[in-house]
Amino acid sequence: MPGIDECLLETMRLPGARSAAVIDWVSGLALGVAGDAPGGDYEAAACETAELARMVAEYRSLGPLSTVGEPDGVPAPPTTGAPTADGDRVPSPGVAPAHAPAQTTGPAPVVEDIITTNKDSYHLLRFVPGALDGTLFLHLWLARDEGNLALARMRLAEIAQRMVL
């Protein structure tokens, strides 16, 4: 099973790969980098992509149809309880408000990957299951005219699954 450096080298072999990094989405720190830094600064790129990963991982609106508190895809019961002074209802115990983060700590996010596109490139963020309580992701910066997004997504999933720390 490959470690971080081997995974980054394998990722950089993908057609069109400009850079690859393993980043902790909680702290924003890059544990390893290869290739050219997006925007010219590895630290800034790690912080910025970690912020995006954190946003997607923590909020239910960007997650699957079945979320925390909704076993087997059955929607959580409507909020009940006494109305507050402004007419809102106090949530029932165990029912999170709709605007609350699905998870801020704990197990890995249920999101598999995030794809951001721009005029000349793709940014693919793939969460690494099980590593450091699920707080790591692989970030691949891919040239749009040279790379194959579908291939990169499949290969990054394989690499993330095999990575050991």
pLDDT single digits (tens) 118-151: 999 999 999 998 767 778 999 999 999 999 999 9
**Mean per-residue pLDDT of the chain:** 78
- In CATH, the number for domain 4-64+101-162 is 3.30.450.30
Domain boundaries defined on the chain: 4-64+101-162
Q: Is the Cβ–Cβ distance between 39 and 145 less than 8 Å? A: no
How many CA within 13 A on the CB side of residue 160? 29
Q: Which amino acid type is present at position 25?
A: W
pLDDT for the residue numbered 65: 58
The CA-atom distances, in angstroms, between 66 and each of 25, 71, 151 are: 23, 7, 28
Torsion (CA) 2, 157, 60, 38 in degrees, nearest 10: 80
Q: How confident is the model at residue 11 (pLDDT cuts 50, 70, 90)?
A: very high
